[in-house]
Amino acid sequence: MVEEQKLRYLQLLLKSKNENSADKYVTAIRLLEQEACRCYAEPISLTVYEMIEMMLLEGCFIIELMQKFEMEFLRDKNDSIFEMNWMVNSLQGDLMLLESQLPFLILCKLFPSSSYRECVNGNSNFKLMLLIEEDASNRKGNWSFIPNTTELREAGLKVEKVVEEGNLLAIKFQTGVLQIPPLTIEDMTESFFRNLIAYEQYCIDNHLSYVPD
């Protein structure tokens, strides 16, 4: 079912752009094929053509899926993925696995050509994800660790839990009170932190290791 949806999402992308061929997308990915292959630790058994086809289908599927997840009005009535809640949860878990992921440079290449790029607003988590790469490349300055909770309390600061759903970075400090959102441990927590560790290793500031530390 999912493999059929991948082809369908590619067709939807082409239809939305009034295009009959995916040739220009194939050409764009072919230019990145060798660089993308270097992102994989294990030997690749696919031929060049098979690799390009896989990255095109996977890339378009991921982008279209995340846009439809973010914006319900983009979903088709007969989209089987969103008709079954368990399917979305299952795909979310699969996409979080490092071994299932696509090189980020492929997504960055395909995103400007995606069906509804103009619909992604400034507050979108999806757009934020695609801006991470640019932000990491432009970052300057020195980063340093803050003291741990015990040290902060010994210094006279008060630490409070604040609930702000969906935002682990909503840390606030005022008048001697440090407000920190709680971390919920669930099924995908391990995959989430594995992704953060992998991102730090990939990041241009590869001497940083905030998550492992």
Q: pTM for this one?
A: 0.61
Residue 29 has pLDDT above 70, yes or no: yes
Among the listed ranges 39-43, 93-97, 141-145, which one has the minimum average pLDDT value?
Answer: 141-145
Residue 22 has pLDDT above 60, yes or no: yes
Pairing of strands 158-161, 172-174: unpaired
Query: Which residue would you say has higher pLDDT here, 195 or 131?
Result: 195
With bands split at pLDDT 50, 70 and 90, how would you rate the model's confidence at 137?
very low
| Residue 64: exposure state from Cβ atoms within 10 A (0-12, 13-18, ≥19) | buried
As a whole number, mean pLDDT of residues 73-78 equals: 78
Ramachandran sector of residue 101 (left: φ over 0; alpha: ψ -120 to 50; beta: rest): beta
Which residues are CB-contacts of 76 (< 8 A; sequence separation ≥ 6)?
12
pLDDT for the residue numbered 95: 74
What is the pLDDT of the chain when averaged over all its residues?
75
CA–CA separation, 190 vs 192, rounded Å?
5
Backbone angles phi, psi at 45, to 5 degrees: -90, -10
Angle at 27 between CA 22 and CA 30, to 5 degrees: 125
φ and ψ at 157, to 5 degrees?
-85, 150
The answer to whether the beta carbons of residues 103 and 39 sit under 8 Å apart is yes
pLDDT of residue 149: 80
Tell me which of 201 and 107 has the higher pLDDT.
Answer: 107
Q: Over 70: is that where the pLDDT of 5 sits?
A: yes
pLDDT score at 74 = 76
- Domain regions of the chain by residue span: 2-138, 149-202
Please give the helix or strand (H or E) that residue 159 lies within, else none.
Answer: strand 158-161
Q: Do the beta carbons of residue 63 and residue 117 sit within 8 Å? A: no
* Helix, strand, coil content of the chain in percent (nearest 5): 55, 5, 40
Question: How confident is the model at residue 208, as a pLDDT?
Answer: 62
Tens digit of each residue's pLDDT (9 = 90 or more) over 31-40: 989 888 888 8
Cα 38 to Cα 54: distance, rounded to the nearest angstrom: 16
